[in-house]
């Protein structure tokens, strides 16, 4: 691949309005969309992940949408290798490629390369598993805040797998998990133009609340019920599903579960923005600024 090739990356918080803009950008440059969403890749999850509709998928070809089953193993590292291989093909057909989505680690994996995280030894893994069972997740979160405050700020603190893994690294190596995630970036044989989309916070929150209501109307409850037997899988430790599982368990009313989905989605949007704001390469736009975005892409790639 020559340096004349450009990967356009469009990202931003959930519900900001990425889908329509990305369709417009893809049509303008006559290119497909590489989907960087760690949950839309699962075929069983459509409504709750705001997967592109059948009509949208017909308008523009998408990669990495609904291609895996929930029980298939997947990771940011696999995504990196598969996207790099795909780009080799796409750049033979066009000077541009477009990757879009809100999964921060997936985007970083393609743009910067995945980090070389140490393998956890069996003794450390067993110790942390026992501590999680005996002490509970909140206690381990407190320890992570003390040992690696930087990662604590961005990790999903409701996700025991992520919290425990970071603590395993900290205790096994005596270093912060963050330090292993700051290795030198891999050189890529193409330009990368990063576009960030954002709105005023109040407007974004209104869009999030409205989208959750729309998901419920579209049948999110039935979709969550269909995957409930697989709730132990990490892929289902996801906003929109885990709250409805609590409803099925009788812990919350349906009304409370829906309100929790809205609140947790707003919280996730804030976390996404915290992550993105650390990347000085991202140029920020409002989703309605289509012409300005296209002009910026052309300017940066010429």
Residue 154 and residue 279 share a domain: no
- Say if 54 falls within a structural domain: yes
Mean pLDDT of 131-154: 94
> Domains in the chain: how many in total?
2
Range of the domain at 168: 122-180
Residue 209 and residue 82 share a domain: yes
Residue 136 and residue 15 share a domain: no
- Say if 245 falls within a structural domain: yes
- Say if 1 falls within a structural domain: no
Instruction: Provide the pLDDT for residue 141.
Output: 96
CA distance 92 to 88: 7
Residue 95 and residue 130 share a domain: no
User: What does the pLDDT look like over 72-125, one tens digit per residue?
Assistant: 988 888 999 999 999 999 999 999 999 999 999 899 999 998 767 778 888 888
What is the CA 33 to chain-centroid distance, rounded? 15
User: What does the pLDDT look like over 174-186, one tens digit per residue?
Assistant: 999 988 876 667 8
Residue 199 and residue 261 share a domain: yes
C-beta atoms surrounding 2 within 10 Å? 8
Q: Looking at the predicted structure, is the pLDDT value of residue 2 above 50? A: no
Instruction: Provide the pLDDT for residue 182.
Output: 65
State pTM to two decimals.
0.81
Mean pLDDT of 255-265: 98
CA distance 37 to 39: 6
- Say if 133 falls within a structural domain: yes
Q: Looking at the predicted structure, is the pLDDT value of residue 152 above 90? A: yes
CATH code (residue 260): 3.40.50.300
């Amino acid at each position: 691949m020559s340096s004349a090739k450009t990967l356009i990356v469009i990202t931003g918080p959930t519900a900001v309005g990425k889908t329509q803009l990305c369709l417009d950008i893809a049509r303008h440059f006559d290119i497909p969309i590489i989907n960087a969403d760690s949950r839309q890749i699962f075929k069983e999850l459509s409504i709750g992940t705001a997967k592109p509709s059948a009509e949208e998928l017909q308008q523009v070809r998408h990669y990495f949408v609904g291609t895996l089953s929930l029980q298939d193993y997947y990771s940011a590292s696999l995504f990196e290798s598969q996207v790099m291989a795909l780009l080799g093909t796409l750049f033979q057909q066009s000077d541009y490629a477009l990757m879009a989505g809100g999964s921060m680690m997936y985007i970083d994996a393609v743009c910067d390369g995945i980090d070389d995280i140490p393998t956890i030894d069996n003794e450390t893994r067993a110790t942390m598993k026992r501590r999680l069972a005996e002490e509970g997740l909140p206690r381990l979160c407190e320890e992570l805040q003390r040992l690696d405050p930087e990662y604590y700020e961005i990790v999903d603190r409701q996700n025991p797998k992520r919290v425990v893994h970071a603590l395993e690294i900290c205790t096994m190596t005596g270093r912060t998990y963050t330090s292993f995630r700051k290795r030198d970036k891999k050189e890529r044989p193409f330009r990368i133009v990063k576009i960030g989309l954002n709105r005023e916070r109040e407007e974004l929150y209104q869009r999030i609340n409205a989208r959750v209501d729309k998901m419920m109307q579209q049948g999110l409850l039935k979709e969550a019920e269909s995957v409930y037997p697989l709730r132990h899988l990490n892929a289902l430790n996801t906003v929109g599903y885990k709250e409805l599982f609590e409803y099925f368990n009788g812990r919350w009313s349906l009304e409370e579960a829906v309100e929790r989905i809205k609140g947790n989605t707003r919280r996730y949007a804030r976390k996404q923005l915290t992550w993105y704001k650390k990347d000085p390469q991202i140029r920020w736009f409002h989703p309605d600024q289509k012409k300005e975005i296209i002009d910026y892409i052309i300017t940066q790639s010429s």
